[in-house]
Structures are given as structure tokens and as C-alpha cells.
A and B are shown apart, each in its own frame.
Chain A
């Protein structure tokens, strides 16, 4: 699996957009970019994932560069409840269905400030 690099921490003002970057320069063509977050003392929560195209759901948007070497997770209007550690994970889905685990790095600690 490709290695990812994320900033250790970021601050964001409440109500503003939070843009969390992730570098994955060694990503291969069949690897997806997944984003999860972990709020203190809870299990990780799935946010979004994508392969090549930008993706949007009710939680966030994922922007993947054309060369796929980096991506940005965007929380459009951050709230205090978005304070969490955000993990960017690159993983292939080529393994048999359900047979692959995710490898978590240190993530980015996002603090949303009132």
C-alpha cells in the first residue's frame, strides 16, 4: 500500500471550510484514497473515498489531483463536532472482497475553534 503524509495538526474557525491535505506520491493505479476520522474515544468513522474523480457526499468533498499524487478533504462548514483526527489511507481493492485491512498512520488532528 502506498504511504501517505499528512500534517500533524490543523486549526479551523467554526463555520469556515476545513481543507485537509494528504500526499500519496507513490500511489498506484488501482489504489483508492479513503478518508476516516476518529473523534475522541470513538471508533473511526468513514467519510469518503475515491479513485480518480472528485467525490462529494453529505459529509465532505474529496479532491484528487490529476496525477493522483495528492488529495484534499474538504469539510465545507466546519463545526465544533468536526474536531477529530482525520486519517488519509490508500488501499487497493484488488484483494478478495472483504479480505483487506486498513493501515492507519498518525493522521491530522483538526481542531475547530469557536
Chain B
């Protein structure tokens, strides 16, 4: 199946700093990518839909100014967590659709100290 990668796989940062997470579709093009967040022992929750060449669509309750999304090419979407706080510590996962199936990245574990 199609492959989605994420970088970094794990990041630790200080409170107040910004962190950028990359999501790439390695063997297919994706005009749309999705960003999910997962807290411990909870299920995945959609944060936003990233659209190539246009603005992202955010789910209710997700601050667009805090979670900046850029989808500059058909194979790359980035999520920047700005002014990170400890409550932003979570597992961030991206996904993209290819021929009727949605494929997920391996996830990025963010720890804000």
C-alpha cells in the first residue's frame, strides 16, 4: 500500500517554543491530508484537514493560530505547534487518501516541558 512518513518521530521542547512536524506522501500525491491528535488511552481525534494550495479547515475547538498548517506541495504538509504548552503534549498523526484507502503516518510524539 501507499506510504506516509512523518518527521520527527519524537520531539521534546520547552514551553513557549514552536515545533514543526512534517508529513509526506512517499509514493503518491495527496491534495488533501489530515492531521489527528491522540492523547494517552484515547482514540484519534481529527484536528484539521490540509488542502494543497489553500487554507486548512480546522475542527471545532482547534485553534488555527496555534496549530499552523501548510500544504505547499502535493506530497508535503506541515503542522507547526506555536508557543507550545505542556497540554499540547500528545501523539500527532497525519494521513492521506490514495485510491479509496486512507493511509496513516507513524506518528510524532510531542512532549512539552
Q: Which residues of A contact B (CB under 8 A)?
A: 32, 34, 36, 41-46, 49, 87, 93, 97-107
Contacts and interface: CB of A to CB of B under 8 A. Distances in A.
Given A49-B101, A98-B32, A98-B97, A103 B106 contact: no
B37 to A, nearest CB: 11
Contact of A104 (B4, B44, B101): B44
Contact of B100 (A45, A93, A99, A107): A93
Contacts, number: 56
A105 B44 CA distance: 8
Q: How large, as a class, is the contact surface on chain B? A: 20 to 34
Interface in B1-57: 1, 4, 6, 30-32, 34, 43-46, 49
- Is chain B's interface secondary structure helix, strand, loop, or mixed overall? strand
Contacts of B76: none
B97 A43 contact: no
A43 B106 contact: yes
B46 A105 contact: no
A76 to B, nearest CB: 19
Nearest to B101: A46
Interface in B79-108: 91, 93, 95-98, 100-107
Contact of A44 (B1, B46, B93, B97): B93
